[in-house]
Amino acid sequence: MQSKQFLCVLFAIFLTSIFDYNDAVVFKLTNLVCESYNQSWVVFHNCRLKAVGRNKVLLNLNGTVLHPVNDVSIHGRFFKRANGNRPWLYDVTIDGCQFVRKANNPIASIVYRLFKQYSNINHTCPYVGPQIVKDFYLRHELLRVPMPTGDYLLSIQWLFDKKLQFDTNVSFAFVEDLMKKN
């Protein structure tokens, strides 16, 4: 019995150290660019990051789709910064209308899981009117996949009817610091 209790205590200490470890992960947005290439279909009113703490940065995006769209292609490219940008891990094009019906792409699902609660885009096609992302920030606990320390860029080109309409480029930092104890 005694040794079992001792093991429980050890296990609790182990869990606590994992908790500290999670605290020591920095996962934050560092840059955001939105650009419409066809102002008669998509306009951006707001596309901004705001730091609200040393390691917490909020993303706000407000755009309008001026005519209903039923054909959305999403071309996502994931870069890890090293001597300029170079492709790393991922380059994919998915059918956006199909994806919101059935999340059929694992990497897109990770990205979607991170931000869907902050946005009004989780509905099926067509899309029209205000497209909002409000006070979104990166939460490490929702990531659930390992990622090496580094600076990353997720560049997304949005195509309507197979034609490029706009870009959203989001940069973020992921830093694992095992020595830091907040």
Ligand X SMILES: *[C@@H]1O[C@H](CO)[C@@H](O)[C@H](O)[C@H]1NC(C)=O
What is d(CA 38, CA 138) in angstroms, rounded to the nearest whole number? 29
Nearer to ligand X, 151 or 167 (CB): 167
Residue 111 interacts with ligand X (CB under 6 A)? no
By the 8 A CB rule, do 135 and 107 touch?
no
Q: Which pair of tokens denotes residue 96? A: 């956006």
Size of the site for ligand X (CB under 6 A): 20
Nearer to ligand X, 38 or 70 (CB): 38
User: Of 7, 10, 45, 92, which one interacts with ligand X (CB under 6 A)?
Assistant: 45
By the 8 A CB rule, do 129 and 43 touch?
no
User: Of 3, 5, 40, 83, which one interacts with ligand X (CB under 6 A)?
Assistant: 40
Cβ 145 to ligand X, closest distance in Å? Answer: 17
Nearer to ligand X, 24 or 66 (CB): 66
Cis previous bond, 126, omega within 30:
yes
| Sequence-separated (6 or more) residues with CB below 8 Å from residue 182 | 23, 24
Q: Which pair of tokens denotes residue 67? A: 């005519």
Residue 52 interacts with ligand X (CB under 6 A)? no
Q: Which pair of tokens denotes residue 155? A: 């560049």
By the 8 A CB rule, do 34 and 167 touch?
yes
Residue 154 interacts with ligand X (CB under 6 A)? no
Binding stretches for ligand X (CB under 6 A): 33, 35, 38, 40-41, 45, 62, 67, 85, 99-100, 103, 112, 122, 130, 132, 155, 163, 167, 169
